[in-house]
Protein backbone atom coordinates (compact mmCIF):
# COMPACT_ATOMS: atom_id res chain seq x y z
CA UNK A 1 0.00 0.00 0.00
CA UNK A 2 1.45 3.33 -1.06
CA UNK A 3 2.20 5.83 1.68
CA UNK A 4 2.14 9.58 1.08
CA UNK A 5 4.36 11.92 3.11
CA UNK A 6 2.41 14.82 4.63
CA UNK A 7 3.08 18.22 6.17
CA UNK A 8 0.52 20.40 7.94
CA UNK A 9 1.32 24.11 7.96
CA UNK A 10 -0.52 25.84 10.79
CA UNK A 11 -1.03 22.62 12.72
CA UNK A 12 -1.26 24.53 16.00
CA UNK A 13 -4.76 25.87 15.29
CA UNK A 14 -8.21 24.27 15.48
CA UNK A 15 -8.35 23.23 11.83
CA UNK A 16 -4.74 22.07 11.90
CA UNK A 17 -5.38 19.94 14.96
CA UNK A 18 -8.39 18.32 13.30
CA UNK A 19 -6.27 17.53 10.26
CA UNK A 20 -3.75 15.79 12.53
CA UNK A 21 -6.56 13.70 14.03
CA UNK A 22 -7.73 12.58 10.58
CA UNK A 23 -4.24 11.97 9.22
CA UNK A 24 -3.64 9.64 12.17
CA UNK A 25 -6.70 7.61 11.07
CA UNK A 26 -5.84 7.48 7.35
CA UNK A 27 -4.09 4.25 6.28
CA UNK A 28 -2.09 5.84 3.45
CA UNK A 29 -0.87 9.06 5.09
CA UNK A 30 2.42 9.41 6.93
CA UNK A 31 2.80 12.69 8.82
CA UNK A 32 6.34 14.00 8.60
CA UNK A 33 6.13 17.71 9.52
CA UNK A 34 3.93 20.03 11.57
CA UNK A 35 4.52 23.77 11.59
CA UNK A 36 3.33 26.57 13.82
CA UNK A 37 4.27 30.15 14.54
CA UNK A 38 4.87 30.96 18.20
CA UNK A 39 4.79 27.23 19.03
CA UNK A 40 8.07 26.36 17.27
CA UNK A 41 9.98 23.85 19.38
CA UNK A 42 6.94 22.75 21.40
CA UNK A 43 5.49 19.25 21.24
CA UNK A 44 2.16 18.53 19.56
CA UNK A 45 0.89 17.20 22.90
CA UNK A 46 1.13 20.69 24.39
CA UNK A 47 -1.73 21.88 22.13
CA UNK A 48 -3.45 18.68 20.97
CA UNK A 49 -3.20 16.21 23.86
CA UNK A 50 -5.85 13.95 22.37
CA UNK A 51 -3.71 12.97 19.36
CA UNK A 52 -1.46 10.38 20.98
CA UNK A 53 0.09 9.17 17.73
CA UNK A 54 1.88 12.48 17.18
CA UNK A 55 2.32 13.57 20.80
CA UNK A 56 6.13 13.72 20.59
CA UNK A 57 6.33 15.55 17.25
CA UNK A 58 7.72 19.08 17.50
CA UNK A 59 6.42 22.16 15.71
CA UNK A 60 8.77 23.51 13.03
CA UNK A 61 8.73 27.04 11.60
CA UNK A 62 6.44 27.67 8.65
CA UNK A 63 9.13 28.13 6.03
CA UNK A 64 10.14 26.68 2.69
CA UNK A 65 12.80 24.39 4.18
CA UNK A 66 10.29 22.76 6.54
CA UNK A 67 7.65 22.15 3.86
CA UNK A 68 9.70 21.02 0.87
CA UNK A 69 9.89 17.40 -0.19
CA UNK A 70 6.42 16.23 0.91
CA UNK A 71 3.85 14.54 -1.31
CA UNK A 72 0.98 16.46 0.33
CA UNK A 73 0.89 19.79 2.17
CA UNK A 74 -2.18 21.01 4.02
CA UNK A 75 -2.35 24.75 4.67
CA UNK A 76 -4.29 25.73 7.80
CA UNK A 77 -3.08 29.32 7.81
CA UNK A 78 -4.60 32.80 8.20
CA UNK A 79 -6.18 34.36 5.12
CA UNK A 80 -3.63 35.84 2.70
CA UNK A 81 -0.80 33.72 4.17
CA UNK A 82 -1.55 30.62 2.11
CA UNK A 83 -0.71 32.25 -1.21
CA UNK A 84 2.75 33.14 0.05
CA UNK A 85 3.42 29.63 1.36
CA UNK A 86 1.99 27.87 -1.70
CA UNK A 87 4.48 29.70 -3.91
CA UNK A 88 7.29 27.81 -2.15
CA UNK A 89 5.97 24.40 -3.19
CA UNK A 90 6.59 22.46 -6.41
CA UNK A 91 3.89 21.75 -8.97
CA UNK A 92 4.14 18.02 -8.14
CA UNK A 93 3.10 18.61 -4.52
CA UNK A 94 -0.59 18.20 -3.75
CA UNK A 95 -1.52 21.36 -1.82
CA UNK A 96 -4.87 21.77 -0.05
CA UNK A 97 -5.62 25.22 1.33
CA UNK A 98 -8.09 25.38 4.22
CA UNK A 99 -8.09 29.18 4.06
CA UNK A 100 -9.86 31.52 1.65
CA UNK A 101 -7.00 32.59 -0.62
CA UNK A 102 -7.96 30.54 -3.68
CA UNK A 103 -11.71 29.97 -3.32
CA UNK A 104 -13.12 32.97 -5.16
CA UNK A 105 -13.22 33.26 -8.94
CA UNK A 106 -13.85 37.01 -8.91
CA UNK A 107 -10.92 39.31 -8.16
CA UNK A 108 -13.45 42.07 -7.52
CA UNK A 109 -15.18 40.02 -4.83
CA UNK A 110 -11.83 39.21 -3.22
CA UNK A 111 -10.85 42.87 -3.06
CA UNK A 112 -14.27 43.87 -1.69
CA UNK A 113 -14.45 41.28 1.09
CA UNK A 114 -10.80 40.54 1.87
CA UNK A 115 -8.74 43.37 0.38
CA UNK A 116 -5.38 43.16 -1.33
CA UNK A 117 -4.40 41.30 -4.48
CA UNK A 118 -6.37 38.26 -5.61
CA UNK A 119 -4.02 35.25 -5.63
CA UNK A 120 -6.00 33.25 -8.18
CA UNK A 121 -8.46 30.35 -8.15
CA UNK A 122 -7.82 26.68 -7.42
CA UNK A 123 -10.04 23.64 -7.95
CA UNK A 124 -12.88 23.90 -5.45
CA UNK A 125 -12.95 21.16 -2.83
CA UNK A 126 -16.66 20.45 -2.46
CA UNK A 127 -17.26 17.16 -4.29
CA UNK A 128 -21.05 17.31 -3.86
CA UNK A 129 -21.45 20.82 -5.31
CA UNK A 130 -24.13 20.76 -8.03
CA UNK A 131 -23.07 22.30 -11.32
CA UNK A 132 -24.95 23.21 -14.47
CA UNK A 133 -26.27 20.19 -16.32
CA UNK A 134 -26.51 18.03 -13.19
CA UNK A 135 -22.79 17.32 -12.90
CA UNK A 136 -20.97 17.55 -9.58
CA UNK A 137 -17.67 19.11 -8.64
CA UNK A 138 -15.99 15.79 -7.71
CA UNK A 139 -15.08 15.07 -11.34
CA UNK A 140 -13.04 18.28 -11.38
CA UNK A 141 -10.94 17.17 -8.39
CA UNK A 142 -9.47 14.01 -9.87
CA UNK A 143 -5.75 14.48 -10.53
CA UNK A 144 -5.62 18.04 -9.20
CA UNK A 145 -2.53 19.34 -7.40
CA UNK A 146 -4.02 22.58 -6.01
CA UNK A 147 -7.34 22.49 -4.12
CA UNK A 148 -9.19 25.23 -2.22
CA UNK A 149 -11.19 23.77 0.67
CA UNK A 150 -14.58 25.54 1.11
CA UNK A 151 -15.56 27.75 4.01
CA UNK A 152 -17.48 26.00 6.79
CA UNK A 153 -20.53 28.31 6.73
CA UNK A 154 -20.49 28.04 2.95
CA UNK A 155 -20.71 24.26 3.11
CA UNK A 156 -23.74 24.24 5.39
CA UNK A 157 -25.64 26.75 3.24
CA UNK A 158 -24.62 25.36 -0.15
CA UNK A 159 -25.52 21.76 0.64
CA UNK A 160 -28.76 22.88 2.28
CA UNK A 161 -30.05 24.80 -0.74
CA UNK A 162 -28.41 23.62 -3.97
CA UNK A 163 -30.91 20.91 -5.05
CA UNK A 164 -33.87 23.29 -4.69
CA UNK A 165 -32.11 25.82 -6.90
CA UNK A 166 -30.88 23.23 -9.40
CA UNK A 167 -34.45 21.99 -9.91
CA UNK A 168 -35.90 25.54 -10.14
CA UNK A 169 -38.14 25.06 -7.11
CA UNK A 170 -37.35 28.35 -5.31
CA UNK A 171 -36.82 31.98 -6.23
CA UNK A 172 -33.23 33.14 -6.62
CA UNK A 173 -33.57 36.64 -5.16
CA UNK A 174 -35.14 35.97 -1.76
CA UNK A 175 -32.78 33.55 0.03
CA UNK A 176 -32.09 33.98 3.74
CA UNK A 177 -29.73 31.91 5.90
CA UNK A 178 -29.21 32.25 9.64
CA UNK A 179 -26.49 30.08 11.14
CA UNK A 180 -25.73 29.06 14.70
CA UNK A 181 -21.95 28.67 14.77
CA UNK A 182 -19.66 27.07 17.35
CA UNK A 183 -16.70 28.97 18.75
CA UNK A 184 -14.14 26.91 16.81
CA UNK A 185 -15.62 28.15 13.54
CA UNK A 186 -16.28 31.81 14.23
CA UNK A 187 -12.76 33.16 14.61
CA UNK A 188 -10.89 34.45 17.62
CA UNK A 189 -12.28 38.01 17.53
CA UNK A 190 -15.94 37.01 17.55
CA UNK A 191 -15.29 34.37 20.22
CA UNK A 192 -13.52 36.81 22.54
CA UNK A 193 -16.44 39.22 22.18
CA UNK A 194 -18.88 36.47 23.13
CA UNK A 195 -17.05 35.52 26.30
CA UNK A 196 -16.46 39.11 27.32
CA UNK A 197 -20.24 39.39 27.69
CA UNK A 198 -21.03 36.03 29.25
CA UNK A 199 -18.75 33.03 29.90
CA UNK A 200 -21.46 30.44 29.19
CA UNK A 201 -24.94 30.21 27.77
CA UNK A 202 -24.75 33.21 25.46
CA UNK A 203 -25.14 33.97 21.76
CA UNK A 204 -24.54 36.99 19.55
CA UNK A 205 -24.76 37.78 15.86
CA UNK A 206 -21.55 38.91 14.18
CA UNK A 207 -20.47 40.35 10.83
CA UNK A 208 -24.06 41.44 10.28
CA UNK A 209 -25.38 43.27 7.23
CA UNK A 210 -23.98 41.32 4.29
CA UNK A 211 -20.32 41.87 5.21
CA UNK A 212 -19.32 38.31 6.15
CA UNK A 213 -16.46 37.15 3.94
CA UNK A 214 -18.20 33.90 3.07
CA UNK A 215 -21.02 35.74 1.27
CA UNK A 216 -19.44 35.86 -2.22
CA UNK A 217 -18.38 32.21 -1.98
CA UNK A 218 -21.93 31.14 -1.12
CA UNK A 219 -23.32 33.14 -4.05
CA UNK A 220 -20.62 31.75 -6.35
CA UNK A 221 -21.64 28.17 -5.48
CA UNK A 222 -25.39 28.56 -5.54
CA UNK A 223 -25.31 30.54 -8.79
CA UNK A 224 -23.66 27.51 -10.38
CA UNK A 225 -26.37 25.23 -9.05
CA UNK A 226 -29.15 27.60 -10.13
CA UNK A 227 -27.55 28.31 -13.51
CA UNK A 228 -28.21 32.00 -12.88
CA UNK A 229 -27.08 34.68 -10.45
CA UNK A 230 -28.50 34.40 -6.94
CA UNK A 231 -28.34 36.72 -3.95
CA UNK A 232 -28.42 35.78 -0.29
CA UNK A 233 -28.85 37.43 3.09
CA UNK A 234 -26.57 35.52 5.45
CA UNK A 235 -26.25 36.11 9.21
CA UNK A 236 -24.04 34.00 11.49
CA UNK A 237 -24.85 33.75 15.20
CA UNK A 238 -22.03 32.71 17.51
CA UNK A 239 -23.19 30.41 20.33
CA UNK A 240 -21.29 29.03 23.27
CA UNK A 241 -20.81 25.54 21.89
CA UNK A 242 -17.36 24.32 20.92
CA UNK A 243 -18.01 22.96 17.44
CA UNK A 244 -20.83 22.61 14.95
CA UNK A 245 -22.95 24.69 12.59
CA UNK A 246 -26.73 24.63 12.33
CA UNK A 247 -27.80 26.42 9.16
CA UNK A 248 -31.45 27.43 8.81
CA UNK A 249 -31.96 28.31 5.14
CA UNK A 250 -35.20 29.68 3.72
CA UNK A 251 -36.26 30.63 0.21
CA UNK A 252 -39.49 31.68 -1.49
CA UNK A 253 -41.12 28.72 -3.20
CA UNK A 254 -42.07 28.78 -6.86
CA UNK A 255 -45.79 28.44 -7.59
CA UNK A 256 -47.41 25.09 -6.66
CA UNK A 257 -44.20 23.54 -5.27
CA UNK A 258 -44.94 21.00 -2.54
CA UNK A 259 -42.79 19.28 0.08
CA UNK A 260 -42.77 16.11 -2.00
CA UNK A 261 -41.22 18.00 -4.93
CA UNK A 262 -38.44 19.24 -2.66
CA UNK A 263 -37.82 15.82 -1.15
CA UNK A 264 -37.62 14.30 -4.62
CA UNK A 265 -35.07 16.91 -5.70
CA UNK A 266 -32.83 16.34 -2.68
CA UNK A 267 -33.10 12.56 -3.02
CA UNK A 268 -32.24 12.82 -6.71
CA UNK A 269 -29.05 14.75 -6.06
CA UNK A 270 -27.96 13.40 -2.67
CA UNK A 271 -29.44 9.90 -2.57
CA UNK A 272 -26.17 8.27 -3.59
CA UNK A 273 -23.91 10.57 -1.56
CA UNK A 274 -21.93 9.07 1.31
CA UNK A 275 -21.53 12.25 3.32
CA UNK A 276 -24.81 14.12 2.73
CA UNK A 277 -27.90 12.64 4.36
CA UNK A 278 -31.53 13.74 3.92
CA UNK A 279 -33.42 12.96 7.12
CA UNK A 280 -36.95 11.52 7.14
CA UNK A 281 -39.81 13.98 6.87
CA UNK A 282 -40.57 15.57 10.23
CA UNK A 283 -37.04 15.07 11.57
CA UNK A 284 -34.60 17.85 12.34
CA UNK A 285 -30.79 17.59 12.49
CA UNK A 286 -28.67 18.47 15.49
CA UNK A 287 -25.05 19.59 15.62
CA UNK A 288 -24.50 16.96 18.32
CA UNK A 289 -25.22 14.26 15.73
CA UNK A 290 -22.31 15.45 13.55
CA UNK A 291 -19.50 15.96 16.08
CA UNK A 292 -16.29 14.44 14.76
CA UNK A 293 -17.96 13.12 11.61
CA UNK A 294 -17.81 14.13 7.96
CA UNK A 295 -21.57 14.21 7.45
CA UNK A 296 -24.00 16.94 6.48
CA UNK A 297 -27.47 16.18 7.85
CA UNK A 298 -30.38 17.91 6.12
CA UNK A 299 -34.08 18.23 6.87
CA UNK A 300 -36.78 19.90 4.77
CA UNK A 301 -40.04 21.61 5.63
CA UNK A 302 -42.49 23.93 3.92
CA UNK A 303 -43.75 27.03 5.72
CA UNK A 304 -47.21 27.14 4.17
CA UNK A 305 -48.06 30.45 5.82
CA UNK A 306 -45.10 32.27 4.22
CA UNK A 307 -44.76 30.07 1.13
CA UNK A 308 -41.14 29.26 1.89
CA UNK A 309 -38.78 26.32 1.91
CA UNK A 310 -37.06 25.73 5.24
CA UNK A 311 -33.94 23.63 4.72
CA UNK A 312 -31.91 22.91 7.85
CA UNK A 313 -28.35 21.61 7.56
CA UNK A 314 -26.11 20.53 10.43
CA UNK A 315 -22.38 19.93 10.11
CA UNK A 316 -19.29 19.80 12.29
CA UNK A 317 -17.43 22.93 11.17
CA UNK A 318 -14.03 21.31 11.76
CA UNK A 319 -14.97 18.13 9.87
CA UNK A 320 -17.32 18.46 6.89
CA UNK A 321 -16.70 22.20 7.19
CA UNK A 322 -12.89 21.98 6.97
CA UNK A 323 -10.59 19.03 7.68
CA UNK A 324 -12.96 16.28 6.56
CA UNK A 325 -13.63 18.10 3.30
CA UNK A 326 -9.86 18.45 2.80
CA UNK A 327 -9.26 14.71 3.24
CA UNK A 328 -12.25 13.85 1.04
CA UNK A 329 -10.92 16.10 -1.74
CA UNK A 330 -7.38 14.77 -1.27
CA UNK A 331 -8.64 11.21 -1.74
CA UNK A 332 -10.29 12.18 -5.02
CA UNK A 333 -7.19 14.00 -6.25
CA UNK A 334 -5.03 10.94 -5.58
CA UNK A 335 -7.46 8.43 -7.06
CA UNK A 336 -8.18 6.84 -3.66
CA UNK A 337 -11.66 5.83 -2.44
CA UNK A 338 -13.42 9.08 -1.56
CA UNK A 339 -14.39 7.89 1.91
CA UNK A 340 -10.99 6.44 2.86
CA UNK A 341 -10.11 7.41 6.42
CA UNK A 342 -13.44 9.19 6.94
CA UNK A 343 -15.94 6.52 7.95
CA UNK A 344 -14.85 5.88 11.55
CA UNK A 345 -13.95 9.30 12.88
CA UNK A 346 -16.44 9.78 15.72
CA UNK A 347 -15.00 11.50 18.78
CA UNK A 348 -15.62 9.38 21.83
CA UNK A 349 -17.08 11.44 24.67
Catalytic residues: 152
Q: Longest C-alpha distance within the chain, in Å? A: 63
Reference 177, options 222, 235, 216; nearest CA is 235
Q: In what order do the strands lie in the sheet with 29-36?
A: 60-61, 29-36, 4-9, 72-75, 94-97, 146-148, 123-124
**Non-local CB neighbours of 208 within 8 Å, separated by 6+ positions:** 235
Relative to beta strand 170-181, strand 232-239 is parallel
Provide the 10 A C-beta neighbour count for residue 188.
10
Asked if residues 247 and 265 have their Cβ atoms less than 8 Å apart, the reply is no
Q: In what order do the strands lie in the sheet with 245-253?
A: 203-205, 232-239, 170-181, 245-253, 308-315, 296-303, 276-278
Q: DSSP label at 130?
A: B
- How far is the CA of 6 from the CAs of 23, 26, 68, 94, in angstroms? 9, 11, 10, 10
Q: DSSP label at 151?
A: P
Relative to beta strand 296-303, strand 276-278 is parallel
- How far is the CA of 212 from the CAs of 187, 205, 208, 229, 232, in angstroms? 12, 11, 7, 19, 11
- How far is the CA of 221 from the CAs of 118, 171, 310, in angstroms? 18, 16, 19
Amino acid sequence: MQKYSVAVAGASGNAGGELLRLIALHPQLELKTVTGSSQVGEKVSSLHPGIAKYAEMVFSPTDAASLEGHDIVFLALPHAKSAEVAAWLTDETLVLDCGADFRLESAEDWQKFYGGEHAGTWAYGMPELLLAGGEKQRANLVGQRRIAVPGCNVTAITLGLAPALAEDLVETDDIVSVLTVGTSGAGRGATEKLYEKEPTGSANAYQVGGIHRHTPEIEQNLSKSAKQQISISFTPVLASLERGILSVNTAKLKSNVQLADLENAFTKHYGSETFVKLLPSGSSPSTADTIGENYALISLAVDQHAGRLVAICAIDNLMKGTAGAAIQSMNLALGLPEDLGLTDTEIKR
